[in-house]
């Protein structure tokens, strides 16, 4: 009898955990204020790039399923954010991208005029903290 109850408890806990994980993932974090912040950050490195909403959608696909989008340049960033960090999500995203952009400064500066780019990502609750995953995709002719 106890083994049946134990098995039932494990099954219900597992089912709840899976349901919780699925519900706790937020996709497409690119609100208007975040999009503007990313554009401003990109502008610091190269004034000749053009934002592309289609590439932003492809970036979201790339976050969800890595290596699914073909592009000459992709910038990935995964970052754990402490629950005690009370700054705005926009600031957290820009902070995450700043370090990735800085490490690829030369690549971003030499991209040709008219390069199209788009960024997107997801965040999910990981215990008490958050896991932020971002991708920026760049294409040129």
Q: Which residues contact 39 (CB under 8 A, 6 or more apart)?
A: 51
Task: Give the predicted TM-score (pTM) of the model.
Answer: 0.75
DSSP 69: S
Which segment of 4-8, 19-23, 48-52, 123-127 scores lowest on mean pLDDT? 19-23
CA distance 4 to 127: 29
State pLDDT tens for residues 95-137: 888 988 999 999 999 999 999 999 998 888 878 888 888 999 9
- CATH number, domain of 39, equals 3.40.33.10
Element (H, E) at 134: strand 129-139
Is there a domain that residue 128 lies in? yes
Is there a domain that residue 69 lies in? yes
Is there a domain that residue 68 lies in? yes
Is there a domain that residue 3 lies in? no
Is there a domain that residue 64 lies in? yes
Is there a domain that residue 14 lies in? no
Q: Which domain holds residue 32?
A: 26-139
Is there a domain that residue 20 lies in? no
Mean pLDDT over the full length of the chain: 80
pLDDT band at 29 (very low <50, low <70, confident <90, very high): low
Percentages helix, strand, coil for the chain (3-state, rounded to 5) are: 50, 25, 25
Structure tokens at 82: 């402490």
Q: With a cut of 60, say whether residue 68 has pLDDT above it.
A: yes
Total count of domains within the chain: 1
């Amino acid at each position: 009898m106890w083994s049946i109850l134990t098995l039932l408890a494990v099954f219900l806990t597992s089912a709840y955990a899976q349901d919780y994980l699925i519900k706790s993932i937020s996709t497409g974090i690119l609100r208007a204020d975040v999009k503007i912040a990313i554009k401003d950050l990109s502008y610091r490195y190269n004034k000749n790039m053009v934002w592309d909403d289609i590439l932003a959608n492809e970036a979201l696909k790339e976050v969800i399923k890595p290596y699914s989008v073909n592009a000459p340049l992709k910038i990935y960033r995964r970052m754990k954010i402490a629950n005690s960090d009370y700054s705005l999500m926009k600031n957290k995203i820009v902070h995450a991208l700043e370090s990735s952009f800085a490490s690829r400064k030369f690549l971003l500066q030499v991209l040709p005029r008219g390069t199209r780019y788009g960024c997107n990502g997801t965040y999910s609750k990981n215990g008490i903290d958050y896991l932020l995953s971002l991708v920026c995709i760049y294409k040129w002719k």
